[in-house]
Amino acid sequence: QFNKPFIAYVPHVEKYNMLIEGFELNGIPVSPSIEGAVLMAKALARRQPC
């Protein structure tokens, strides 16, 4: 609706596996760390046309 990227930060813990799989099946990037999520956001920002 707002054309903004969505990045999920979800720790790689067994109880969250179903949540992680759901995000990935829907094309939403998932990071196990905040640092990784920040890097993903920066990469998406660089990929956006000016």
Give 5's contacts (C-beta < 8 A, 6+ positions apart). 41, 44
What residue segments make up the domains of the chain, in order of their start?
8-47
Q: Which residue has the tokens 């920040």?
A: 38
**How many CB atoms are located within 10 Å of the residue 47 CB?**
8
CA 18 to chain centre: 15
pLDDT number for residue 22: 95
What is the pTM assigned to this prediction?
0.69
| pLDDT (tens digit per residue) in 7-23 | 999 998 999 999 999 99
- Residue 1, pLDDT > 80, answer no
pLDDT number for residue 3: 74
